[in-house]
Each structure stands twice: as C-alpha cells, then as structure tokens.
Amino acid sequence: MPKKKILIVDDEIELVDLVKIRLEARGYDVVTANSGLEGLSKAAREQPDLIILDIAMAEMDGYSTLQKIRCDETLKETPVIMLTAYAQMKSLFEMEGISDYIVKPFDAHDFVARVENVLKKGK
C-alpha cells in the first residue's frame, strides 16, 4: 500500500519541522510549503491525500488558499485540516467543508490522531 501524502502549508518553520517529523515517524510522505501560493503550487503538483493549512500567513492567508483549493477540480475533494490560533473561526471553516480544525498550540499526540482520523474517513 503506498504511503499517504500530506501537504503542510504554514509559515512557522519550526512548527512545520516538528509536525513533519511526527508524521514521517508514522510512515507518511510529507511535503511542506511556507506560503499559500507555494502551497497551491505544491498541491497541484503533488496531489496530496490531505492538506494541513494554517490560516494566518503573509502573502496569501489560509482562507484564500482554501477557497482556491475548493475551486480546483483536481483538489476540491482533498481533505483539509485548518490550523489556527483563532478558535472562534470554527463555524466559518465548517461551512467551507473542512475535515477538521486544530487550534494552536496543540498536543502532538492528539494532532497525529486527528490527522489519522481524517485520512481514514477520506474527507
């Protein structure tokens, strides 16, 4: 069975590195991007099984990135987990059809469990 591919889009380099190490230790193929534009480019090229997307980024925020993902025929069904420090935005993202919503800071074990749950569901 091929490895599941996860794209992490976040401009916090240290957080991305930590999450990448945790997910790779669980056997996932992890691709990273440090901006929304870079994330869109890598998502189109890599066709990940899951996108983990931060909301607060320079250049193109996560909400704008999510809207572009949902308009792309090859990506629109890809599960997305939003990462943010803004817990009050949960209902907005639920309306956008995200698969899960994780508030920073988060517990690493809980984070991995939620990623695996989304991948099992497939959406």
pLDDT (tens digit per residue) in 11-61: 999 999 999 999 999 999 999 999 999 999 999 999 999 999 998 888 888
List the domains of the chain with CATH numbers: 5-121 (3.40.50.2300)
Q: Pick from 35, 86, 26: which is nearest to 64 by CA?
A: 35
pLDDT (tens digit per residue) in 59-90: 888 889 999 999 999 999 999 999 887 776 66
| Residue 114, both tokens | 């939620």
CA distance 101 to 46: 23
Radius of gyration of the chain (CA): 13
